[in-house]
A and B are shown apart, each in its own frame.
Chain A
Amino acid sequence: MVIAKNLVFKSVFCKCVLVVAILVTSKVSVYAGEAEAYVANARVRLLTEAQAIQPGSTFWVGLEMAMDDHWHSYWKNSGDSGMPTRIEWHLPPGFEAGPVHWPNPVRMDYQEDLTSYVLGETFLLLSEIKAPQDLDEGNVPVHATIKWLSCKDICVPGQTELSLLLPVNEKAPQVDEEVRARFMAVRERWPVFDSKWEITAQQQKDAFTIHLMPPNDFTGQLTHLQFFPYRNDVIDHAAQQFFQKDQQGYQLTCVKSVLLDPGEAIDRLEGVFVADRSWVSDENRLGHWAQIGLRDDQL
């Protein structure tokens, strides 16, 4: 499999080779240059707001997944079953891809004590890509290998290669306004990462008790809450999480996973809380990320 990494050359002669190389590799390579595919009951495509790459700049690439009716795919922690969607980037030297930013997960309960964490029928996974300063004229291939699991009542694994080819432009690049608007809308619904909410927790023998204290200027209220941990072996996904209002704010109790021994302490809980109301007044932010340190002397 030819990975088209070395397409950025310095001389005119090499640019001719570059053109030939693109023609040759697009015939023999699996990376046929398609930005879109329909595989395993999902239409997947790569989108970017950038219409050119400015050396030294960053730009966002989105993987859009549109599942067929009633099909779903999985969040970063898939829960009791399933498999999280994975993106492997194949980028030219000097380029770096940041982590995937996930939308808020949805809890899906099966019968018999099985719960998974899934994503909605259409969503965008965004990653930020940084271009090196030292970048010559030419075209930059941005390839991704996408692997996921599409499920309805049965599951079908999906895998595809998608790519974009972007020109290098020294000047500030033009932007596809429609894609930019879509990306902005997605970002506005990401979990809150930085706020004045105070979130602490204690670990007991069988459960974690999480305390959430809103900031003084919070005028809303939460009436339902679900914690989605990043690790899949800390809480019992299928158990109900007990939510209540208390004097300081809110409290959520999550039953520990059977994979943790009763006396076993962990040092932190990290994940996303998804509420039915916004964590930030005047915005539509239903998710809140938190990394909560835990003491081990509470067991």
Chain B
Amino acid sequence: MKLKINGIIMAILISAVFSAVAFAGVSAGSKAPDFTGTDSDGLTRSLSEYKGKYVVLEWLNYECPFVRKHYNSGNMQSLQRHYASKDVIWLSIISSAQGNQGFMTPKQASKFKNVELSQSTALLLDVSGTIGRLYGAKTTPHMFIIDPQGTLVYQGAIDTIATTDPGDIDKAQNYVRSVLDALIAGEEVVPFSTKSYGCSVKY
């Protein structure tokens, strides 16, 4: 008991020292850290509740032209819908701070999720940016794919053409598709990262 308390104090001290460098980041191949957040309907969601499933994390800022590229074209929603039918959990996460671009109130987010556009499992409102910093989310979009064992298999760009032009979607190789299709088919995917592209996350 004493050891455990000391451990906690140590952790607090260390995190205080490193709070200026609070951008953890998760490298491909390592265990995806657990997190808890509130979704657009006010429900609490944790990564750990999805153990045993494939999970996609999608960093979102609906005002960013790179995000609009994939939403206005229907590309993102069709990915979300397709992989929902394969029992993949899809969490869209907004880490914009209040007053910054992309921020949504719960009411706006709920409308966005349920009525307008998003086909994701849940839309998490990470206003404090805790989940974003934990994962090292730099851009919108920034994609993370976690396997049923909890390993981060992929993080990075949504596809291979880093532009705002929806015309480039069909020309690009979609990393989310490539990785999920291979994993679901039982093929081995060596964990890898690519450089994500998009607007900076507005913490």
Contact = CB atoms under 8 A, between A and B. Distances in A.
Interface of A: 80-83, 110-114, 116, 147, 149, 151, 153-157, 159, 232-233, 238, 258-259
B179 interface: no
Contact of B138 (A114, A154, A159, A233): A114
A155 B64 contact: yes
A113 B136 CA distance: 9
A260 to B, nearest CB: 9
Contacts of B139: 80-81
Interface stretch (B21-29, B31-39, B75-83, B107-115): B21-29
A83 B203 contact: no
Nearest to B156: A259
B65 A112 contact: no
Nearest to A239: B21
A149 B164 contact: yes
A71 B194 CA distance: 28
Complex A-B, nearest 4 residue pairs according to Cβ-Cβ distance, in ascending order: A113-B23, A157-B164, A81-B200, A112-B203
Interface of B: 21-23, 25, 27, 63-66, 100-101, 129, 133, 136, 138-139, 156, 162-165, 193-195, 197-203
B148 to A, nearest CB: 24
Contacts of A81: 138-139, 197-200
A47 B27 CA distance: 46
Given A81-B138, A83-B163, A147-B163, A111 B203 contact: yes
A114 B164 contact: no
Most buried by A among B64, B193, B197, B200: B200
B201 A114 contact: yes
A156 B23 contact: no
B195 A151 contact: no
Nearest to A114: B200
A209 B191 CA distance: 28
Contacts of A238: 23
B195 A112 contact: no
A110 B203 CA distance: 10
B165 A147 contact: yes
A232 B197 CA distance: 10
